[in-house]
Structure 1
Amino acid sequence: MLVLTRKPGERILIGEDIVITVLDARRDGVRLGIEAPKGVKIQRDEVVRAVTEANVAAAGADSGAEERIKALLGLNPDGA
């Protein structure tokens, strides 16, 4: 990991097409501006983790859930 100290207005270059600009620095956090090509995903780590956890929880639905949904929809669980 590279650790840098930057002041507001200073930039960090990643490769040839990603630029991170320090917009503001306060005691409670730093505001960054990120310029990158459209195809580059820029995501906050805590959001990605929350979505992953929600997906894992949803995938772990109890074993009878499918049958209950089919019954509510009036479908025969046997497929007939």
Structure 2
Amino acid sequence: MLILSRKVGETIWIGENVEIVISEVKGEQVKIGIKAPRNIDVIRGELRKDISESNTEAVVKSLDLLKNSKQ
């Protein structure tokens, strides 16, 4: 993991086409802007975790339905 210190208005680039802009710092909260092509998904970590868990539950339920339908 790369850890950087940035000030308001400074940026971080990821590859050639993703730019992270520090827009505001208030206490322990940092607001950032992300400029990325539309084909790159940008999602908060906690939402990604929720989606992953939801997808896992759906797969398990589907497998259970398949098992029950074969019996």
Normalization by structure 1: what TM-score? Answer: 0.67
Task: Report the counterpart of residue 73 of structure 1 in structure 2.
Answer: none
Structure with max Cα Rg:
1
CA RMSD of aligned residues (A): 2.5
Percent identity, aligned pairs only, is 34
Structure holding more helix per residue: 2
Note the alpha carbon deviations across 1:25-45, whole angstroms, 9 max, x for none. 122321100001111111111
Q: 1:56 is aligned with what amino acid?
A: T
Task: Report the counterpart of residue 31 of structure 2 in structure 1.
Answer: 31
SS at match of 1:60: helix
Which structure would you say has the larger RCO, counting Cα contacts within 8 Å and 6 or more residues apart?
2
Structure 2: runs of 5+ lacking an equivalent: none
Counterparts of 2:13 and 2:57 in 1: how far apart (Å)?
38
Aligned residue-pair number: 68
